[in-house]
A = this chain, B = another copy of it.
Amino acid sequence: MSLNTSLRDAISANLAQTVADYKDFHRTPELSMQETQTAATIRSTLEALGLETHTFGGTGIVSVIENGEGPVVAYRADTDGLPIAEDTGYDYASTAEGTLPDGSTTKVMHGCGHDTHITVGLYVARYLVEHKDLWSGSVVMIFQPGEETGEGARAMLDDGLWNSIVRPEVIYGQHVWPGKAGHIYVAKETAMAMSDCLKVTVRGKQAHGSQPESSIDPIVLGAYMITRLQSIVSREISGRDMAVVTVGTFHGGLKENIIPDSAEFKLNIRTFNEEVREVVLNRVERVIRAEAQASGAPEPIIEEMYRFPRCYNDPAATDQFLDVVGAELGEEQVHLDRAVTGSEDFGAFGDDIDVPYVYWFFGGYSPAKFDGDEPPAGNHSPFFAPDDVETTLKTGIRAGLSAVLSTVGK
């Protein structure tokens, strides 16, 4: 049940423009929950297709493509960039800047490839609008902001998304990653990890750098906390289970000869199931509190910043997706893969209304990139961007359309 020939021809015929649109998005990333220009472009593009647009959660845009009787499906793309200084060397590399919540300025980059998601999503919408003869029913197109901070899906839901928009029977979404361009990778059941983010304020006691005995040194204490945290994954979790504990930031001290009063670090925790998650969270807190005691320090402050839910691919919907996308792209291009340690708030759209969903990955690199000793750069690297943009985008569009049409297609 591969795509109709006229649809395939349209995808190929428009590819130069598709790539050009992608490069525009690539040049102009915006930070999470600040995607105002990006949202404006999405809105005007959808409206140019004759669609009505709705705004949820500030910079989230939704259109429903209606086409008579039939099932309702949803397709979601996320739209935000990251505080990374791009280092790809492409002539369309980003030079954008943004302002972080703490007021500091940063370079911004589509370092997670959401520019491909926007582009693919807008072309999926266009082809559905232009080929209404091939399907009937409704398709809800969701352009979600703030995925990187775990805020966007929640903001759209809290803003009443499913109260005013028709509820689908299945939801699809996809993500570019450092796989081979032209290939699709999907996991059944657990697809992506849960993620918990904590902020830890290490409290010490300030003193002159020459008099550590008058201080409680929060930098040394923080360093002991971080080295001690390594033993959670190495000693307290079974080799058969998955846990990743990353300290992504550490900040303390203004001057080399003053031992500061406090320091701060932020933790990101990935797990595949609730039981392991509870163990890790419990151990992280235990280690941090005990290390503070070892220093005779005041109680550290541990705050939950946000959490991502598990992304659980419905088995039946995944099997159906495997069938149709295998038929479209060729069996050998479609891989049933293990769950990944990355996280997504995509699952929230389905979990919120108890609707099944499928989330998959599409590759972004030409095969030659995999020949060397070093694998190609991964998401969140300053070097991450598809090198074979045409194949990458075409494959994303064909996979997205195949999935949507597997439900609403005639």
Contact = CB atoms under 8 A, between A and B. Distances in A.
A222 B240 CA distance: 26
Nearest to A291: B294
A206 B382 contact: yes
Given A236-B213, A270-B239, A257 B252 contact: no
B239 A249 contact: no
Given A207-B380, A244-B239, A380-B206, A375 B214 contact: yes
Contacts of A259: 246, 248
User: Which residue of A100, A222, A243 has the most chain B CB atoms within 10 A of its CB atom?
Assistant: A222
A381 B234 contact: no
Contact of A294 (B206, B258, B286): B286
A82 B212 contact: no
A286 B83 CA distance: 33
Interface string A122-165: 00000000000000000000000000100000000000000000
A79 B364 CA distance: 54
Contacts of A210: 193, 195, 239, 244, 246, 268, 270, 340-343
Given A294-B291, A339-B240, A378-B214, A248 B235 contact: no
Interface in A292-310: 293-296, 305
Interface string A30-53: 000000000000000000000000
Nearest to A252: B250
A250 B248 contact: no
A267 interface: yes
A249 B261 CA distance: 11
Contact of A235 (B193, B212, B235): B212
Interface in A308-328: none
B230 A341 contact: no
Q: Which of the listed residues A100, A241, A255 has the most CB atoms from chain B within 10 Å of its own CB? A: A255
Given A148-B257, A210-B193, A249-B219, A234 B234 contact: yes
Say whether chain A's binding surface is mostly helix, strand, loop, or mixed.
mixed
A290 interface: yes
A245 B211 CA distance: 10
A137 B210 CA distance: 38
B250 A211 contact: no
A84 B254 CA distance: 9
A266 B239 contact: no
A227 B295 CA distance: 13
A8 interface: no
A260 interface: yes
Contact of A256 (B255, B267, B342, B382): B267
A211 B270 CA distance: 10
Contact of A213 (B237, B257, B340): B237
A238 interface: yes
Interface string A258-286: 11110101111010000000000001001
B293 A211 contact: no
B220 A248 contact: no
B248 A255 contact: yes
5 contacts: A210-B239, A210-B270, A222-B223, A240-B340, A249-B255
